[in-house]
Structure 1
Amino acid sequence: MMDADILARLQFTVTSGFHWLFVLLTLGLAPIIAIMHTRHVLTGNLRFERMTRFWGQIYVVNYALGIATGLVMEFQFGLAWSGLTTFAGNVFGAPLAMETLVAFFAESTFLGMWIFGWGRLPKVLHMLLFWLVTLTAYASAYWIMVANGFMHRPVGHEVRDGVAYLTDFGALLTNSSAINAMEHVVGAALLTGGAFVAGVSAYQFSRRTAEVDFFRSSLRLGLLFAVPFGIATVEAGFRQFPDLNVAQPMKMAVLRDFLQPEDRGPYTVEQVQSMMVQQYGPGDYAPPAWIGSAYDFMTITAFFIVVISLFGAGFLIRDHIVRSRGAALMVTVIIPLPFIAATLGWLVREVGRQPWTIYGELLTSQARSSVSAGTMLASLIGFTALLAGLAVTNWILIGRYARRGPRETDLGSPGPRVDPEPVMAL
């Protein structure tokens, strides 16, 4: 049987990795749907209302099942990482509490009002509700990145009797690791949302859809996000290197052979290892070397995303994508690429921090709960099966809506009329 530390890390990788893919699409679709809804309210064009309802129902499915994956992640966190909570709960407990309040209360409340407000609320108020959904979604992501940023670059605290205490909340909120990562996440999410909308629209053109105007408008808006944010995401990734050279020199040393000369850190793996042994004592402080390959594949995937997005924009000229099945299928390929790139980027960020849970302060072995390897294996199998089921359900439902098109949209549609039963006279 595997070591309990390895099983705990695998469990965290699986649960957080699955949840991250749901969050990525939720964040990416939200502003696109908000813009569609706004255009409907401002212009009165019913096509934008239909677009809002069609893409909105996909958003709702992904959001609901994403919440379920988030609950699974909370369970595994409590099961496997009590040492982390004991050491740093006083520091990132507040950001995680804020994230819970924003995501599980504010965001879900606004979304529920939006879902059930079709035809019942004034149009402007109804539209504003989804903008509030969008803003709270990004606020939730920010609070998560504040907590995660502390794990990568611990700031604004002091350690007393083996426990970290918050001393500077402002430093925690403006942590460069959190801010830089948030910029990268926002770009990746908007790229993912745009690529998804563009890819599904192109897929409909490959099937010779009759909804040409509907999916042409969707494709334009999707590419309007995918093209610039594809480039911006790559640039935001490169801008993290100077800070990483200071905060996580070992990660940059491992990535050294995969980076351009101007991005490389000043130290080799051997040099950083020697420095860390002197500072922290004996141990192997280098993360797995395969994160370099993950970084390489991430950048290659990002390159293809940008190229396909640009081709898609070119295919819009004279409706070439509407008439050419080959062009439509080429753009359809873009759908999974942002998820692949984001997963690889997440692995580089999180695995590249190993063997630290909180860089330079708390080792992963110290953060883990005192749970047996057998218990950890059983929970890993159970959580993986549950998350896989949620993911499969999510993509089956999304795929069904995407294939069906906007003709039979459930969101915002009036339910069947139910006549009251006649009252019997006494």
Structure 2
Amino acid sequence: MSAADLARLQFAATTGIHWLFVILTMGLVPLVAIMHTRAAFTRDPVKRAVGERRTRFWGQLYVINYAVGIVTGLVMEFQFGLSWSGLSKFAGNVFGAPLALETLIAFFAESTFLGMWIFGWGRLRKGVHVTLIWLVALTAYASAYWIMIANGFMQHPVGYEVRDGAAYLTDFGALLSNSSALVALVHVALAALTTGGVFVAGVSAHHFLGRTTETELFRGSLRLGLWTAAVASFFVVVVGEMQRPVIERTQPMKDAVLRNSGVAEAQARLVEEHGPGDYVPWQDTVRISMDVMTVIGNTVSTITLIAVVLLWRDWLLRRRLVLYVLVAMVPFPFVASVGGWVVREVGRQPWLVYGQLTVEDAFSGVSTTAVAVSCTVFVAVFVALAVTNWTLITRFARRGPDATQLGTTEPLPATESPVATGPLPVGLSAGPPSQAPTSPSATER
């Protein structure tokens, strides 16, 4: 493999693994926010206690995924400067602003709100505390918007002019309203909600298969997860089809490959417009990825719709086969989302900025040895982080609410007076599961 191919492999592997964290983060946080809102404003103390336990259980899984995933995001933008300096030279004046805003939102605003939410249990008023988790959700999707704006420019460059071999922004509004970015953003958001809903439903189904005693907690989670997944998976297919006219208009070669018709005509057209070259991407890779995404999307939509119907009178809980199917379905949305990412990125090759900058021209010219070492190290670290993340998520998900440490309180030393000092609320306590609060008064002030 050439140095450029190794650099492409490195970016594809690290971005693909990072995306697995992102899509679960985006899919879980709105559901956690809904759970917290319902718990905080429920008057029935028994239901409020169950709602709080439910929020803390799913919130802890979300925090684990976010904490490990944020590490994988730190190296992404460095690769633009190290391996793809040509992209920065050509499109940095346009591309830089959305990336900078995404970094500010994801690594500052979102992290700050999340930290305040984690350590706000028992300290903040319920309205403020609930607002924080909704701000986390809002900033997560705002971060996704800016990254899709940057990617949308690479897919369909708009609002710029080229001077002295570099692109300069001339129409910020056109950049923000790029159809290649906005339609894809809606598709990504719905895919994330599908992923989060299937994850919540699958973990809840696992606990019912294990004869859990937390019936009310996981019944509510199962309902929320299935309704979210059923609605989102239906519309994710609809919005996916809405992208086809955009692709046809902006990337005729990708459209021809997906239709498996007119590839030669598209090649001739691009040669006429941009000069000699091979403008055909890896056709089998693009088509297979599209087929995988489509089949999984329709399968998830059908199964979750059937499961929603079976929720009536708890029919679903008496049909263990369906519960096993829900558990087995948890990885499906992740596979589908990676397939969609492959279609979007591989399908526009050999362009990095479509019609303006090829991959070869954007490569920094780093030696093959240096890129090989970098690729090996980064991929190994990212795989280790992914394994660590899912090991932790699986462990805490299987242990159930009793193992939840989010929002617990540290025990008082025997020599201290509870009247004088009171419990010390923390976000992620190191105390044993038995110290988790069992009543609303332990977590609400």
TM-score strictly above 0.5: yes
Q: RMSD across aligned C-alpha pairs, in angstroms? A: 1.4
d(CA) in 2 for partners of 1:315, 1:104: 41
Deviations 1:75-123 (A, max 9, x none): 3333211110111000011111111111111110000000000000001
d(CA) in 1 for partners of 2:60, 2:263: 49
Q: 1:157 aligns with which of 155, 160, 185?
A: 160
d(CA) in 2 for partners of 1:122, 1:284: 61
Q: 1:90 aligns to what? A: 93
- Aligned residues of 2:289 and 2:342 also touching (Cα < 8 A): yes
Q: 2:267 aligns with which of 269, 273, 279?
A: 273
Q: 1:146 aligns to what? A: 149
**Pair 1:408 & 2:407 matched:** no
Once the 2 structures are TM-superposed, how far is the Cα of residue 328 of structure 1 from its aligned partner? 1.1
Once the 2 structures are TM-superposed, how far is the Cα of residue 319 of structure 1 from its aligned partner? 1.8
d(CA) in 1 for partners of 2:107, 2:304: 34
Query: Where does the alignment leave 5 or more consecutive residues of structure 1 unmatched?
Result: 258-266, 422-426
- Aligned residues of 2:98 and 2:147 also touching (Cα < 8 A): yes
Q: 1:123 aligns to what? A: 126
Once the 2 structures are TM-superposed, how far is the Cα of residue 419 of structure 1 from its aligned partner? 5.9
**Pair 1:217 & 2:212 matched:** no
Q: 1:105-254, aligned counterparts within 5 Å?
A: 105-254=108-257
Q: 2:12 aligns to what? A: 13
Percent identical: 58
Once the 2 structures are TM-superposed, how far is the Cα of residue 320 of structure 1 from its aligned partner? 2.7
- Aligned residues of 2:37 and 2:130 also touching (Cα < 8 A): yes
Q: 2:325 aligns with which of 330, 355, 358?
A: 330
The amino acid that maps onto 2:403 is E
SS of the aligned residue for 1:255 comes to helix
- Aligned residues of 2:80 and 2:88 also touching (Cα < 8 A): no
Q: 1:349 aligns to what? A: 344
d(CA) in 2 for partners of 1:43, 1:3: 61
Q: 2:369 aligns with which of 374, 377, 380?
A: 374
Q: 2:34 aligns to what? A: 35
**Pair 1:285 & 2:288 matched:** no
d(CA) in 2 for partners of 1:370, 1:420: 66
d(CA) in 2 for partners of 1:161, 1:418: 70
- Aligned residues of 2:84 and 2:364 also touching (Cα < 8 A): yes
- Aligned residues of 2:80 and 2:87 also touching (Cα < 8 A): no
**Pair 1:256 & 2:259 matched:** yes
- Aligned residues of 1:12 and 1:77 also touching (Cα < 8 A): no
- Aligned residues of 2:21 and 2:69 also touching (Cα < 8 A): yes
| Paired residues, number | 412
d(CA) in 2 for partners of 1:297, 1:380: 27
Deviations 1:321-341 (A, max 9, x none): 323332211111221110010
Query: Where does the alignment leave 5 or more consecutive residues of structure 2 unmatched?
Result: 417-445
d(CA) in 2 for partners of 1:388, 1:228: 32
Q: 1:42-53, aligned counterparts within 5 Å?
A: 42-44=41-43, 45-53=48-56
Once the 2 structures are TM-superposed, how far is the Cα of residue 7 of structure 1 from its aligned partner? 0.7
The amino acid that maps onto 2:264 is E
Deviations 1:295-322 (A, max 9, x none): 1111111111112212221332232332
Give the TM-score, by structure 2 length.
0.91
The amino acid that maps onto 2:169 is L
SS of the aligned residue for 1:246 comes to helix
Q: 2:390 aligns to what? A: 395
Once the 2 structures are TM-superposed, how far is the Cα of residue 57 of structure 1 from its aligned partner? 0.3
d(CA) in 2 for partners of 1:39, 1:130: 13
**Pair 1:365 & 2:360 matched:** yes
SS of the aligned residue for 2:391 comes to helix
SS of the aligned residue for 2:41 comes to helix
Q: 1:301 aligns with which of 292, 296, 300?
A: 296
